Structure 1
Amino acid sequence: MSNYREQAISGQKWVRSNSVQISNPYQGLPVVRFGEEEIAVLSDGKTINTPLEGLTEPFTDPAKTFPLLNPVTGEALGATASYQDVYVLLHSLYIALAVARDAPATAPE
């Protein structure tokens, strides 16, 4: 027995990261977790988002490297970064944001 109004459809699907969580516990191991979702765009324009388990990576080896990719095209940029580079960038971003937040407000003129 066929399903009522059953239709064959086509489309595209891919997996993407939709969130990043950094855990940096005091006296603990820093960990990064990438939340993922599968996106399916059907030929009729309907989009289906399906949450996935994601990826978790502990920062156990600061010297470990990975290739840098263009976020728009996915092409290799011909350079690498280390886990330590990421840790330094995130720390520096946090400090810059915290300093800006904690700066005294300027009085209106």
Structure 2
Amino acid sequence: MAQDRQRDREDDEPGRWSQDVTEHSDALDLEEGVFTWDDPVRVAASLKHSAEVSTRRKGTPYQSAMSMLTFYINRAGDHLDDEQRDVLERAKTELRRAFGRE
């Protein structure tokens, strides 16, 4: 199954692999549109929940949630407007808080 997904990814348009990872992560099942929400607490809570219920993640729930958030911010690059980047950066703080890592 993983090999089929890899082949599908190779057939995707160039530059779309990060979108594919976000939508079809082998580690987390994300709520639709989670990275577009305007409430950092809600974003963090959703990522925390996704990481805690996942049976496919390799690291701790905290590592998986933070990795997915950081991955999205980094891959979105210039396509992420300043306001949404700020929400997602604040979501990192909220995620640390939610996992007691503040």
| Common fold by TM > 0.5 | no
- Higher-strand-fraction structure: 1
Bigger relative contact order, structure 1 or 2 (CA pairs below 8 A, ≥6 apart): 2
- Superposition TM-score tier, normalisation by shorter sequence: under 0.3
TM-score of the superposed pair, with normalisation by structure 1: 0.25
Report the structure number with the largest CA radius of gyration: 1
Q: TM-score, normalised by structure 2?
A: 0.26
